[in-house]
Amino acid sequence: MLKCPECAAVLDVDEDEVEEGEILNCPECEVELEVVQINPVHLNVISDETDAEEDEEESEEGIDEKKKEEEEEQAEDEDEE
């Protein structure tokens, strides 16, 4: 019997059937859970904050790349003049 570490709801999953690294969803609070250990089974909540931080970093990287491209285009235009 597995329980959600976030809301303590019982998950309808047999401990023998899960694999390390597997992602489960809690039917009650709908968080994503990662199986981080098998014997005994240990679940970690996959944080939405982590996803938001990663998305923010990716968008910042995209902005930096766009700035570089614009600067390169300006330099090329200046060289042509």
- pLDDT tens readout for residues 16-63: 999 999 999 999 999 999 999 998 999 999 976 555 566 666 666 676
Predicted confidence at residue 1, as pLDDT, reads: 83
Please list, in sequence order, all residues whose beta carbon lies within 8 angstroms of the beta carbon of residue 32, skipping any fewer than 6 positions away.
23, 24, 25, 45, 46
Judge whether residue 11 has pLDDT over 70.
Answer: yes
Predicted confidence at residue 53, as pLDDT, reads: 60
pTM of structure:
0.56
Q: Are residues 38 and 57 in the same domain?
A: no
Predicted confidence at residue 70, as pLDDT, reads: 80
Q: Are residues 35 and 7 in the same domain?
A: yes
- Using DSSP, state whether 4 is helix, strand or coil: coil
Q: Are residues 35 and 69 in the same domain?
A: no
Which structure tokens are listed for 68?
């570089």
Q: Are residues 58 and 35 in the same domain?
A: no
Q: Residue 70, Cβ neighbours under 10 Å: how many?
A: 10
More confident of the two residues 11 and 63: 11
Domain limits for position 10: 1-46
Q: Are residues 2 and 22 in the same domain?
A: yes
